[in-house]
A and B are shown apart, each in its own frame.
Chain A
Amino acid sequence: MAETLRASTNRVLRNPVAFSIVLSLLIGAAIIAATGTNPLLAYSEMVRGALTGSGLRNTVSRMIPIVGMALAISIPFRAGVINLGGEGQMVIGGLAGTLAAIYLPLPPVLVIPLALVAGMVAGALWALLPAIGQTALKLPILISSLLLNYPARALTGYMVRFPFADPTVTSSSTVPVPESNRIPKLALFDGVSASLVLLILLLIGVALFNLRTVPGYETRMTGLNSRFSRYGGVAVDRQVVWVMLASGGIAGMIGTHLVVGETYRFLDGDLVVSGFAWSGLLVALLARHRPGPMLAAGAFFAALQIGGLAMQRNVNVPWQIAQVLQAVVIIMIAGRFVLKARRETAAVIEGETTVTGEV
C-alpha cells in the first residue's frame, strides 16, 4: 500500500505539469500565509468559488474564450507562425458579429449563425493582413500581428463611439443585441452559453485536422522544419495564409460569442480587459498545441481566475494571488520543457560528432 502510494507520488512528480502545479500551490501557500491567512482556508474558498453553484458556470463561461483563443493561436503556432494578433482579430470579429446580430433583418435562426460567420470573416481578414505582409514583403508576422492589435482597438472604439453608438447610454457601446438574436443558453452548468457546443466541435475538428489530414501533416512538418517542408514540395507561403485565416476566423468567432452570447453590447475595451487572448496564448504554449490538453489547461486557468475572485470576496486574499499561481505554473513548466529539450539536443549532437565529425 505504502509502496503503491510512493510509486504514484513519484509518477506525479515526474510529470512536469503535475509537478509544476503542486510546486506553485506550495509557493502560493507561502505567500498567502505571509498575508496572515490560513492557506488551506484560502485554497478551499478558491475551489468552492470555482466549482460550486454559479461559480461552476462562471468557470465554464470563462473557459470558452480562453480555450477558443488558445485554439486560434495554436493553429499557426503549430506551423511555426506566431500570431500575436489574436486580440485584434477577436475585437474586429466581435464588432462585425455584433453588428450582424443587431442589424440583419432576418429570422433569428439565420441571424445567429450569420453573426458568427460575419465575426469569422472579419477576424480572418484582419489576420490576412500580417499573412500577406510576411509572404509578400517579408514583414515578420510576429511583429505585424502584434502591432495590428492597436489599430483594431482604435477602429472598433471609433465605430462604437460614432457610427454605431447607442445614444441612450453614456458609455461608448452599441445598442444591445435584440433578445431573440442572442446565442441561447444551455441547460448545462446552470445555463452556460451554447457556444460551448461549438467550441467542443471545433476542438474535435482541429484535433482531426492535425492528426488525420494531409494539410494537418504538412503544417506540423513546417512547424518542425520549414526548409524540410519546402524541400518536400509544401507551398509554405500559401500555408502561412491559410493558418492565419483559420486563426483569425476562430478569434473573430470567439469575439462574436463574447458579445452575442455573453454581454450583448459591444462596449469599447470590454473584450480586451479580461486578457483572453493572452491567457489563450499561455494555454496553447502549455498544451503544446494539442486540443485535448488545451481544454484541460484552459479549464484550469479559468478555475484559477474565477476561484481567485471568490477567494478575495470571502477571505480577503487579493485575487492577484491567482495570477501569481498561474505565472509560477507557466514558469515551472516552461523550465522543465527547456531542460528536457536541451538534454535531447545534447544527446543528438554527441551521437552525430562521433559519426561525421570532420577530421
Chain B
Amino acid sequence: MSVNAPELELRGITKRFPGVLANDRIDLTVKTGAIHAIVGENGAGKTTLMSILYGLVQPDQGEIRVRGELVRFSSALDAIGAGLGMVHQAFKLFPTLTVAENVVYRNEPKKGWFIDRDAAEAGVRKLADSFGLGIDPKARVEDLPVGVLQRVEIVKALYRDARVLILDEPTAVLAPQERDGLFVIMRRLKAAGRTILFVTHKLNEVMAVSDRVTVLRSGRVMADLKTSETSPKAISKLMTGRDIEAVARPSLGNGGEHLLRVNDLGVVDDAGLVRLDRVSFEVQAGEILGIAAVAGNGQSELIDALTGLKPASSGSISLNGVDITQAEPAQRRLAGLAYVPEDRHRVGTAAGGEVWSNLLMGYQRTPKFRRGRWLRGTAVKEHARELIAQYDVRVGSENTLVGTLSGGNLQKLVVAREMTHPAELLIADQPTRGVDIGAIQFLHRRLLEYRDQGRGILLISAELSELLALSNRILVMYEGRIVAEFDAASTDEAELGIYMTGGHLAGAVHG
C-alpha cells in the first residue's frame, strides 16, 4: 500500500447486461477525504457502477484498487472488509429492532454467549455523537422518520469501519430541511478523513457539497470535473446532451378549450410534509402537456390527486367542466379520464389475472361489456383479442396469465387498455419505460394520434427527449412546485435539466 495512492481507483470497468452496455470502460479516481459526486440521468450506469464497487455485481472487465491495492469483490462482505460502506436508497434495516441492534448486527459485542447490549448501545452512542448524528441507540427503528433512518445506515457503515461511504441518491427520500442536515453530516465525515461517493442527479446538491464530480452518460464517463471550476449548466449539458430524434413539431388540434383545470392543488403527506405546493395549470383539448421532473419532486402526488387514488389536501380539479376534486376513481373515469400508471406491476395490472381480465379493468361497467349484472363473455374476449392484435402484445392468447409477460409487453398491454377508453384526457406516466425502440416509436405515434383526435394528454416522462418530441408545452416541477413553463419548441434538454435539478437555485444554496 503506497502512501499517496488514491482511496479508490477504477480502471476500464465494463459491464454488459442483455441488450445494454451498462458500464463502458469507466475510469474513476477518488481521493481520500473527498466528497465525490457521481451524476447522470436514469440509465446512465450509476447504479451498476456502485453495485460493482460494492461487490453486488461483478464487472466483465476492469480492475478496482482500494488504496493502491488490487481487489476483487465477490460479494458485499468483501467490499465491507475492504472498508467500503453503502447507504442504499431503500434502507436495509430491521424495523422491530432498536437502532443499536441494527447497527451491531453481525458484529455484536458479546458477553459470554449473550449480546452485550450495554456495550452495543454505548458504542453506537459514542460513534453517533462523534459525528453529531443525534440518534438514540435505544429507539426502535420502525418509530423513526426517514431522515433518521438514513443516519442509522450511516452509523451502521461507520461501525464497520467504513473509510469510504457510498450514498446512493440519499436526498431522494428527504425533505429539503432534512437534506441540509445530511450535508452538514457529510462535511463532518469529510473533516474526519472519510471519503464519500455521492450519487445524485440534482445539480444544486452537487454544487453545494461536492469537491469533484464525475458525469456519466449511457454508461460512459463524459467528464471528471472539479466542482468549483464548473457550473450546473455545463454539467447538465454533459448529462443530457444526446441527439434528440427529429420529430415534426406537433401542432395544437382544436385548441383553446380547457379539458383539465387544476387550481392551487396541494398535497400534504402523512408526516405533515408538503409534497405538492399549490400547483395550477390547464390541459387543453388537442394538446400534450409534458411534465419534467426528477423522481420524488411531487409529480407522483400530483398524479395520485388527479386520478383520485390519494386525496388532495387543498385546491380543486375540474375535468370537462365537472368538479372532480372529491370524486371516486370510478366517477373520474366516467368524467373522461384514462391513466397509464408508472408502476405497471403494483397499480397497472394484476399478475395473477389473465390478459383478458387485465384488459377489461375500467370497462367492466360499460354497456359494451355487460348486460345488467352479467358480463358479456364473448365481447370481453373479443375486445382482448383486438387490443392484443392492435398493440402487438406478444402473448400466447387472451387467457395467458399476465404475470408471465415481459416488462415491455406488460407496458403495451396497459397502454392499449387505457388509450382505447373513450376518455377526453389521458394521463400517461412514463408510458414508454422499459419498452424497446420499435415499440417506443409505435407508442409515440399512438399518443400523437390521440392528441390529433382533439383529446388531451398529460405526459410525465423521465426521458426529456420524449417530452420535447411530443409535448406542446412543458412544465418543470421541483420540490413540489411548478418552477418553469416552456413552449416545447423553444427549449432544450440542458435548459430543462437546470430547472429540474434545482440548478436555477444553485446560487442561493451555495450562499
Which chain A residues have a beta carbon within 8 Å of chain B's beta carbons? 212-218, 220-221, 224-225, 227-235, 344-345, 347-348, 351-352, 354-359
Contact A357 B17 (CB under 8 A): yes
A227 to B351: give the CA distance in the assembly, Å. 12
A229: B residues at CB distance < 8 A: 350, 361
B370 within 8 A of A: yes
Q: Is the CB of B357 within 8 A of A230?
A: no
Beyond A217-B375, A233-B330, whether A225 also contacts B362 by CB under 8 A is: no
Whether the pair A225, B349 counts as a contact (CB closer than 8 A) is yes
Stretch at the interface among B40-48, B61-69, B225-233, B483-491: B40-48
Q: How far is the CA of A212 from the CA of B380 in the complex (A)?
A: 11
**What total of A-B pairs shows CB separation below 8 Å?**
110
Nearest-CB residue, chain B, relative to A359: B22
Residue of A216, A352, A355 ringed by the most chain B CB atoms within 10 A = A355
State how many angstroms separate the Cβ of A204 from the closest Cβ of chain B.
15
1-28 of chain B: CB within 8 A of chain A: 17-20, 22
Within residues 319 to 335 of chain B, which ones have a CB less than 8 A from any CB in chain A?
328-330, 332-334
CB contacts (< 8 Å) of A227 on chain B: these are 309, 346-347
Contact indicator B330/A214 (Cβ below 8 Å)? no
Whether the pair B364, A217 counts as a contact (CB closer than 8 A) is: yes
The verdict on B433 contacting chain A, using a C-beta distance below 8 Å, is: yes
Contact residues in B for A233 (Cβ distance below 8 Å) = 328-330, 332-334, 362, 365
The prevalent SS among residues of A at the interface is: helix
Pull 29 A–B residue pairs with CB atoms less than 8 Å apart, ordered by A: A213-B374, A214-B364, A214-B375, A216-B375, A217-B357, A217-B364, A220-B353, A221-B361, A225-B350, A225-B351, A228-B361, A229-B350, A229-B361, A230-B309, A230-B329, A231-B309, A232-B333, A232-B364, A233-B333, A347-B404, A348-B403, A351-B405, A354-B18, A355-B406, A355-B407, A355-B408, A356-B407, A359-B17, A359-B47
A215–B47 Cα gap in the complex (Å)?
A: 44
Instruction: Report the Cα distance A229→B43, complex, angstroms.
Output: 31
Contact between chains at B374 and A358 (CB < 8 Å):
no
- Partner of B353 from the list A221, A345, A347 (CB cut-off 8 Å) is A221
Q: In the complex, what distance in Å separates the CA atom of A323 from the CA atom of B347?
A: 42
Shortest CB distance B29–A (Å): 22
- Select the residue from A224, A233, A345, A351 with max chain B CB neighbours within 10 A: A233
Supplied contacts A231-B339, A351-B407, 5 more A-B pairs, CB within 8 Å: A216-B375, A221-B357, A231-B309, A233-B365, A344-B404
Given A348-B351, A358-B47, are A213 and B373 also a contact pair (CB < 8 Å)? yes
* A225 & B346 in contact (Cβ 8 Å cutoff): yes
A216 vs B364: C-alpha distance when bound (angstroms): 11
User: Do A235 and B328 contact each other (CB < 8 Å), given the known contacts A212-B375, A214-B374?
Assistant: yes
Query: B373 and A214: CB pair below 8 A?
Result: yes
Q: How far is the CB of A214 from chain B (nearest CB, A)?
A: 5
Identity of the chain A residue whose Cβ is nearest the Cβ of B341 in the assembled complex: A231
CA distance A232 to B309 in the complex (A): 10
Q: How far is the CB of A180 from chain B (nearest CB, A)?
A: 37
Chain B residues in 8 Å Cβ range of A357: 17
When distances are taken between beta carbons in the complex, the residues of chain B under 8 Å from A355 are 406-408, 434
Q: CB-CB < 8 A to B20: which residues of A? A: 359
Residues of A within 8 A of B357 (CB): 217, 220-221
* In the complex, B360 has a CB within 8 A of chain A: yes
**CA–CA, A231 and B310, complex, Å:** 11
Nearest chain-B residue to A209 (Cβ)? B373
Task: List chain B residues, Cβ under 8 A from A345.
Answer: 403
Is B375 a contact partner of A231 (Cβ separation < 8 A)? no
Is B134 in the interface zone, CB < 8 Å from A?
no
A140 vs B334: C-alpha distance when bound (angstroms): 31
Q: Which residues of B come within 8 Å of A, CB atoms? A: 17-20, 22, 42-43, 45, 47-48, 219, 307, 309, 328-330, 332-334, 339, 341, 346-353, 357, 360-362, 364-365, 370, 373-375, 377, 403-408, 433-434
Instruction: Decide yes or no: A232 and B351 within 8 Å by CB, A212-B374, A225-B346, A355-B406 being known contacts.
Output: no
Alpha-carbon distance A237/B364, docked complex (angstroms): 18
Contact of A351 among B42, B350, B406 (CB under 8 A): B406
Are B19 and A354 in contact (CB-based, < 8 A)? Answer: yes
CB proximity of A138 to chain B, nearest CB, Å:
12
Is the pair B370, A228 in contact by a Cβ cutoff of 8 Å?
no
Interchain CB contact (< 8 A) of A224 among B45, B352, B377: B352
Give the CA-CA distance A351 to B407 in the complex, in Å: 8
- Shortest distance in angstroms between B425's beta carbon and chain A's nearest beta carbon? 15
9 tightest A-B CB contacts, nearest first = A233-B330, A356-B434, A232-B361, A359-B22, A224-B350, A225-B350, A355-B407, A224-B352, A232-B362
In the assembled complex, how far is the CB of residue B70 from the closest CB belonging to chain A, in whole angstroms?
25
Report the nearest B residue to A224, measured CB to CB.
B350
A230 to B370 CA separation, bound complex (whole angstroms): 19
Please give, as numbers and ranges, the residues of chain B lying within 8 Å of A215 by CB-CB distance.
373
Query: Separation in Å of the A194 CB from the closest CB of chain B?
Result: 28
CB distance B406 to A352 under 8 Å? yes
Q: Give the Cβ gap from B302 to chain A, nearest Cβ, in Å.
A: 16
Q: How far is the CB of A232 from chain B (nearest CB, A)?
A: 4
A357 to B371, CA, bound (A): 43
A221 to B363: give the CA distance in the assembly, Å.
Answer: 13
Q: Which residues of B contact A344 (CB under 8 A)?
A: 403-404
In the bound assembly, the distance between CA atoms of A326 and B97 in angstroms comes to 38
- CB atoms of A348 and B404 under 8 A apart: yes
Residues of B contacting A354 in the complex (Cβ-Cβ under 8 angstroms): 17-19, 406
Q: Which residue of chain A lies nearest to B346 when distances are taken between CB atoms in the complex?
A: A227
C-alpha gap A355/B412 in the complex (Å): 13
Contacting residues, chain B, for A218 (C-beta < 8 A): 364
Residues of A within 8 A of B22 (CB): 359
Chain B residue nearest to A228 (CB atoms) is B350
> B349's contact among A217, A228, A235, A358, by CB below 8 Å, is which?
A228
Q: Are A214 and B365 in contact (CB under 8 A)?
A: yes
Q: Which residues of chain A are near B360, meaning CB under 8 Å?
A: 217
A359 to B332, alpha carbons, bound, how many Å? 36
Q: Which residue of A lies closest to B47 (CB)?
A: A358
- Of the candidates A214, A230, A345, the one having the most CB atoms from chain B within 10 angstroms of its own CB is A214
Query: Which residues in A have their C-beta under 8 angstroms from that of B377?
Result: 212
B435–chain A nearest beta-carbon distance, Å: 9
